[in-house]
Structure 1
Amino acid sequence: MPDLLLELFSEEIPARMQARAAEDLRKLVTDALVDAGLVYEAARAFVTPRRLTLNVTGVPARSPDSREERKGPRVGAPEQALAGFLKAAGLASIDQATVQSDPKKGDFYVAVLEKPGRDAKDVIAEIVPDVIRRFPWPKSMRWGSGWLRWVRPLQSILCVFGPETEDTDVVEFEVDGIRSGRSTRGHRFMAPETFEVRRFDDYVEKLENAFVVLDSARRMDIIRGDAGTLAFAQGLEVVEDEGLVAEVAGLVEWPTVLMGTFDPAFLAIPPEVVRLTIRANQKCFVLRDASTGELANRFLLVSNLVAEDGGAEIIAGNGRVIAARLSDARFFFDTDRRVKLEEQAKKLHNIIFHEKLGTQAERVERVARLARELAPLVGADPELAERAARLAKADLVTEMVGEFPELQGVMGRYYALDQGEDPQVADAIRDHYRPAGAGDEVPTAPVSMAVALADRLDMLAGFWAIDEKPTGSKDPYALRRAALGVIRTVLQNQLRLHLHSIFVMLAYRIESQISADEALAQAIDSTIATHGLSLSAELHERIADEISRTHQPNGRKTAASAADLLVFFADRLKVQLRDEGARHDLVDAVFALPGQDDLLMIVRRVEALAAFLDSEDGASLLTAYRRAANILRIEEKKDGRSHAGYPDQGAFAQDEERQLFTRIEEVGSEVEAALRVEDFAAAMAALARLRGPVDTFFEAVTVNAEDPALRDNRLRLLSQIRGSIDRVADFSRIESH
């Protein structure tokens, strides 16, 4: 079967757009082929800085014939209905339609539309110009006097179609004055002449001879391999940077790796600064000593040509720019170190964090207080936690972070150490931004944990307080990521935090700031000083009532926002556990229990519940629970009242009732004891002992007895089954598997 080769040749395509453009070209063309009845075998797209290429193999030479029957109006229908039918079906008169009969609906018109197949070349000649004209570049513009919008000026179109072993034909069409053909060009400098190609293999070979590596993955392999070889020869190794490898591969068609040097005096600058300066400004790689891991005063650049002088002039030019940029970085570093972080932090009063949440300085004040309050719960020194939080955002206003925002926290650590801060404080300044993403490490040092948690919890509570929550796919403040950061930090460090308590206190504290209510602020501070952050549900209610009565009329609303934030955390926890292979319905079942805001205990309970349900006893008991719950739901709806309550032991008519009741009482005591010491596996094991008596009860006892008193007593016994099992999780939320 024939193959299609398409190349769109242009001026340089931005590297950040290349991968998406190649995929868009593949999808747009192949979708259109399939819609036209041309079902292909395989398709692969390629991209270099100057060309988008698509190779589609196994395309039929002709689209199949088609036959369609289109049902029309009834015979005798109004003229308007007939005219609409004729127009839609493309018929000249009603005589061209046939009449079919239906026993129920009578006679109606049917148009039989037969379309002969078309040559694939003709179909492609329509598809490709349409794809080019509506190509979805993130940014495009009109070039020259034409109407075509393209990311950079489009210069030529290669489009050939034909069998794999025979000569191919040019698919002829024109787009904005550019006619398709079989010609392309090689490397801009080393082989700029045009040449003709017949098919894909021929095309790839001639591009290679013209100093163009078509496959971006192969260009990346060349860069990695040559860079590693050059580094190894000098006893060095390349600092890994896959993002830069991909970016540079999008800048060159013939990658040539060269090594340069810079003044070793610049190594006195923090290594992160050296690396980022060289990367950001010159797209170069940095090297380190293979034995010590220390940065070396060398860099690797990737040229797009093989220079006659071996690249000496290219290396020298890059070296001059790197030296200038490193000089700027050293100036920024030295300037910043002359100012204490406390002085830098004062500038945060002039920076708005959010118009409804105040300045960065006001937020720092809240975070510092919360870090101090969290410190005992994570094993941190309260003084150090507060100190770290007060300095954590100070580097945001430094020269270095202004130049390289990616270094926030990193530079703060260097400046903190330089001014003699405790190393725990310095590390917390750097680590409180972690985890920055799914693959990033979480902070593990106690002071770092306190500041990282305080920073994220304050942000979440703040945006919930002003009703700026994530909606659908929109999350402009990255609140989902912040919540996942809290969850990962808590779970990986096995921390015991009662999040609802923290959310309630933070919600009131933020509300006191927004409303400038000093009395409310004092009430919150006094409550936390007295009770800490781990408050009972009853105390929550009492505080909400007191605040609503004496300080703030919206106290109940504020408390509700804290409860809503806890639901948000439940959803995020489900995402986290699902990624780890856990079942989301088990998280729902545990969260449905009252007072569940300790993430670590929730996860342990979920793990125990999952293990229990995977056992034969667990699966059987779940089935029995559903049977009992279904009977209760039906009968309570019929009776219009609940059957919850303690059954009358003297009213039992069968031994199976007495045995089940006795076992429920025993298991209930065992479950309560196990839950008190948070031994969830023991609680599940105790529940498993219900299986036998429950199965026997349902086999031998008729719940809906004719005697109303006996029926009511047995329904109350079913209620006891449901209540006993629901002590460990809400089994009604567990799905069938």
Structure 2
Amino acid sequence: MPDLLIELFSEEIPARMQTRAAEDLKSRITNGLVEAGLTYAGAAAFSTPRRLTLAVEGLLAQSPTLREERKGPRVDAPEKAIDGFLRGAGLTREQLEERDEKKGRVFYAVIEKPGRPAADIVAQVLEETIRGFPWPKSMRWGDGALRWVRPLHRILCTLTTEAGTAVVPLSLDGITASDVTEGHRFMAPAPFSVTSFEDYAAKLKRANVVLSAGERGETIWNDATNLAFASGLDVVEDKGLLAEVAGLVEWPVVLMGDIGAAFLDLPPEVLQTSMREHQKFFSVKNPGTGRIEKFVTVANRETADNGATILAGNQKVLSARLSDAKFFWENDLRVAKSAAGLTAWTDQLANVTFHNKLGSQKDRIERIAVLARALAPMVGADADRAEQAARVAKADLSSQMVYEFPELQGLMGRYYSAAAGLPADVAAACQEHYSPLGPSDDVPTAAVSIAVALADKLDTLTGFWAIDEKPTGSKDPYALRRAALGVIRLILKNALRVPLTKIFAENFWSADLMSFFHDRLKVYLKDEGIRHDVIDACLAMPGNDDLTLLVARARALSDTLKTEDGTNLVQGFKRANNILTQAEEKDGVEYSYGADPQYAEDPAETALFAALDTAEARIRPALADEGFAAAMQAMAALRPEVDAFFEAVQVNAESEILRRNRLNLLSRIRTVCLQVADLTRLDG
């Protein structure tokens, strides 16, 4: 079985496109081969800045011969019908077979499609893949019609067997496939031929090309951390930057340089952001002080001076970048410490439109401030402090630093609020009110931060709901699902008692948001293993806009249903409810009271009366104290008596007195069980 090696060698592929491109190459080639009848044992794709590579092992030498039988018309059918069958089968009349069947002799066409050599199939599939490759952006060059992300220079395509290596015959817009590739652009540019994937990978390594992006990343990280450790420092972990830099070099050479002393007092986040965004540098910090003191850069070549010239050039460019950052920082601090303080920035936000139907950013700040004040007592925050924080939380949007680095919004607000002499919890809220941004983001726990974070997200949700800009399908341009999840996590993490319906009614336009929150809550609780129908059973109970109460009830019910008594009691409840519902429909009355133990004829009836009395005595105080677990344990404890009752007693007895008494007893079962959740909404 031959092994296939493909390399598409081009000018530099943008780092952000490489991983996806390698996956696309693998899926499109392997899918095309399998569809053509060529199965394989395994495949692996690789990428570097100048090449996409695919290695396929254990490929069939040719596609199998296919034999197909087609049943045609009867032998005595009209000539037109027979001619049509011949055309469809691609055969002559002499090539047809005649077979006896119940309704007479019938024509059959036996069509054989001989297998094709692997080389022919590979050439066809590779050409189709290259011509239709799904680059996010592509270009044409020269006079050709071929499009690629950057000019394509070489196509290496070989099939290797025990007998040797053969080049797959393919020519594409003047590029002829071969067994030749090139090494590092500067360190080993001479072309060379290869005989297999192992030979290819080994020769590339000798030609200063590390084929695996993962291996390049490991080399960068290990060398960077070793250099930092030798100086008593730590590299700031940045997985996204590491993946990007690994896609910028074929032969990573790690160098560590100094940051000018004039910039060391900049906030570490400013240094890190500036170096990452503009220079693709890793930050190196002092573990004792947390201060960023050095940087790590990754060169794409070794030099005679061990990178000294490269470092000098990088440090010169970095100084220019950091000079801008320092200028922004110092100017912003002057504004923050001025008499006007952060108000100067919030006033400017009156000229910044949040949404044409929802007013300016300053209008939004006013709404958030009012709501934060209203929420403060519910979250244990000082109302004045919560309103103060809401009024300055977005002031840094007008700062020069955030204009340059939008990802620093909130964080810079914290620095500027502290510089303006505002209380620490107000400064913290400037940063934390954006959180949580995603399912893994930290949730604020400080009272003032919680108040502003809730107000911010609730204003977003109710505002866009009011102008009918709701999420539809997969579209959610204003991230309203994320905002709702943020509210849910803030409430549950901090065990807040927030009556959302009341808040909507008192502080916003009419906004029917609860069903949206309930849907997001189902998604959130799914990770806990809580079923949708369990939540539906709890949503039917009073107070379902109090998410902490709702989730406590749902968790207790979910835990109860995981026990044998819980699941069996639900079945008993449903049996009781079905019998009762049918009887009420038939009789036109409601059996909701009047069950009397003096009419109990069977010991199982007497035991059930006693068990219901005991359960009710435990459930009522438990529910009053919101002890849902205790209430549901008391409910589940009914299971033996309910089972025994249905085993021993016929509900629809001949005696009308007994029948009514037993139906009223079933009503007691229903009433007791429905106190904890609407069990009728459970599946099954």
Q: Determine the structure 2 residue equivalent to 1:685.
A: 633
Q: Per-residue displacement from partner, 1:167-204 (whole Å, max 9, x unpaired)?
A: 11111112222111101111111111111011100000
Q: Per-residue displacement from partner, 1:73-101 (whole Å, max 9, x unpaired)?
A: 78888888777655554445697376674
Q: Determine the structure 1 residue equivalent to 2:7.
A: 7
Q: Distance in 2 between matches of 1:464 and 1:200?
A: 57
Contact 1:432 1:451 in 2 (8 A): yes
**1:687 offset after TM fit, Å?**
0.6
Q: How many residues align?
A: 678
Question: SS where residue 136 of structure 2 aligns?
Answer: coil
Q: Determine the structure 2 residue equivalent to 1:61.
A: 61
Q: Determine the structure 2 residue equivalent to 1:399.
A: 400
Q: Determine the structure 2 residue equivalent to 1:308.
A: 304
Q: Determine the structure 1 residue equivalent to 2:263.
A: 266
Structure 1 range deviating more: 599-608 or 92-101: 92-101
Q: Per-residue displacement from partner, 1:308-340 (whole Å, max 9, x unpaired)?
A: 222111111111111111111111112222322
**1:226 offset after TM fit, Å?**
0.7
**1:484 offset after TM fit, Å?**
1.5
Q: Distance in 1 between matches of 2:33 and 2:589?
A: 63
Return closer, same or farther for 1:306/1:111 CA change in 2, 3 Å cut-off: same
Q: Determine the structure 2 residue equivalent to 1:447.
A: 448
Contact 1:86 1:94 in 2 (8 A): no
Q: Per-residue displacement from partner, 1:522-548 (whole Å, max 9, x unpaired)?
A: xxxxxxxxxxxxxxxxxxxxxxxxxxx
Q: Determine the structure 1 residue equivalent to 2:533.
A: 585
Q: Distance in 1 between matches of 2:247 and 2:436?
A: 29
Q: Distance in 1 between matches of 2:93 and 2:581?
A: 64
Return closer, same or farther for 1:653/1:94 CA change in 2, 3 Å cut-off: farther
Q: Determine the structure 2 residue equivalent to 1:210.
A: 207
Q: Determine the structure 2 residue equivalent to 1:646.
A: 593
Q: 2:223 aligns with which of 216, 222, 226?
A: 226
Q: Distance in 1 between matches of 2:375 and 2:640?
A: 47
For residues 606-685 of structure 1, the aligned pairs below 5 Å read 606-632=554-580, 639=586, 643=590, 645-649=592-596, 654=602, 656-685=604-633
Return closer, same or farther for 1:313/1:503 CA change in 2, 3 Å cut-off: same
Letter matched to residue 261 of structure 2: P
**TM-score (norm: length of structure 1):** 0.87
Q: Determine the structure 1 residue equivalent to 2:330.
A: 334
Return closer, same or farther for 1:144/1:369 CA change in 2, 3 Å cut-off: same
Q: Determine the structure 1 residue equivalent to 2:675.
A: 727
Q: Per-residue displacement from partner, 1:452-487 (whole Å, max 9, x unpaired)?
A: 111111111112222222222111111111111122
Contact 1:344 1:395 in 2 (8 A): yes
Q: Distance in 2 between matches of 1:173 and 1:615?
A: 66
Contact 1:643 1:712 in 2 (8 A): no
Structure 1 range deviating more: 257-266 or 187-196: 257-266
Question: SS where residue 264 of structure 2 aligns?
Answer: helix
Return closer, same or farther for 1:142/1:379 CA change in 2, 3 Å cut-off: same
Q: Determine the structure 1 residue equivalent to 2:458.
A: 457
Q: 1:598 aligns with which of 531, 536, 546?
A: 546
Question: SS where residue 40 of structure 1 aligns?
Answer: coil
Letter matched to residue 149 of structure 1: R
Q: Distance in 1 between matches of 2:93 and 2:361?
A: 76
Q: Distance in 1 between matches of 2:102 and 2:605?
A: 64
Question: SS where residue 686 of structure 1 aligns?
Answer: helix
Contact 1:624 1:694 in 2 (8 A): yes
Q: Determine the structure 2 residue equivalent to 1:569.
A: 517
Contact 2:96 2:108 in 1 (8 A): no
Return closer, same or farther for 1:45/1:574 CA change in 2, 3 Å cut-off: same
Q: Distance in 1 between matches of 2:138 and 2:126?
A: 18
**1:436 offset after TM fit, Å?**
2.0
Q: Determine the structure 2 residue equivalent to 1:289.
A: 286
Return closer, same or farther for 1:122/1:693 CA change in 2, 3 Å cut-off: same
Structure 1 range deviating more: 272-281 or 141-150: 141-150
Return closer, same or farther for 1:100/1:447 CA change in 2, 3 Å cut-off: farther
Q: Determine the structure 1 residue equivalent to 2:354.
A: 353
Q: Distance in 1 between matches of 2:381 and 2:5?
A: 64
Is 1:468 matched up with 2:473?
A: no
Contact 1:46 1:53 in 2 (8 A): yes
Contact 2:264 2:291 in 1 (8 A): no
Return closer, same or farther for 1:85/1:600 CA change in 2, 3 Å cut-off: farther
Q: 1:119 aligns with which of 117, 120, 130?
A: 117
Return closer, same or farther for 1:699/1:281 CA change in 2, 3 Å cut-off: same
Q: Distance in 2 between matches of 1:419 and 1:150?
A: 53
For residues 42-191 of structure 1, the aligned pairs below 5 Å read 42-70=42-70, 88-91=88-91, 96=96, 101=101, 111-163=109-161, 165-191=162-188
Q: Determine the structure 2 residue equivalent to 1:545.
A: none
Contact 1:3 1:56 in 2 (8 A): yes
Letter matched to residue 535 of structure 2: V
Letter matched to residue 325 of structure 2: A
**1:720 offset after TM fit, Å?**
3.3
Contact 1:100 1:110 in 2 (8 A): no
**TM-score (norm: length of structure 2):** 0.93
Question: SS where residue 164 of structure 2 aligns?
Answer: coil
Question: SS where residue 454 of structure 2 aligns?
Answer: helix
Where do 5+ consecutive residues of structure 2 fail to align? 336-340
Question: SS where residue 530 of structure 2 aligns?
Answer: coil
Contact 1:99 1:107 in 2 (8 A): yes
Return closer, same or farther for 1:149/1:78 CA change in 2, 3 Å cut-off: farther
Return closer, same or farther for 1:580/1:655 CA change in 2, 3 Å cut-off: closer
Q: Determine the structure 2 residue equivalent to 1:36.
A: 36
Q: Determine the structure 2 residue equivalent to 1:515.
A: none
Q: Distance in 2 between matches of 1:88 and 1:317?
A: 71
Return closer, same or farther for 1:688/1:199 CA change in 2, 3 Å cut-off: same
Return closer, same or farther for 1:642/1:36 CA change in 2, 3 Å cut-off: farther
RMSD, aligned α-carbons: 2.5
Is 1:363 matched up with 2:364?
A: yes
Contact 2:543 2:549 in 1 (8 A): no
Q: Determine the structure 1 residue equivalent to 2:385.
A: 384
Contact 2:374 2:383 in 1 (8 A): yes
Contact 1:207 1:213 in 2 (8 A): yes
Return closer, same or farther for 1:75/1:635 CA change in 2, 3 Å cut-off: farther
Q: Determine the structure 2 residue equivalent to 1:408.
A: 409
Letter matched to residue 410 of structure 1: L
Q: Distance in 2 between matches of 1:485 and 1:327?
A: 37
Q: 1:299 aligns with which of 295, 305, 317?
A: 295
Contact 2:595 2:662 in 1 (8 A): no
Q: Per-residue displacement from partner, 1:142-163 (whole Å, max 9, x unpaired)?
A: 2221111111111110000122
**1:265 offset after TM fit, Å?**
1.6
Return closer, same or farther for 1:314/1:629 CA change in 2, 3 Å cut-off: same
Question: SS where residue 149 of structure 1 aligns?
Answer: coil
**1:125 offset after TM fit, Å?**
1.3
Contact 2:96 2:107 in 1 (8 A): no
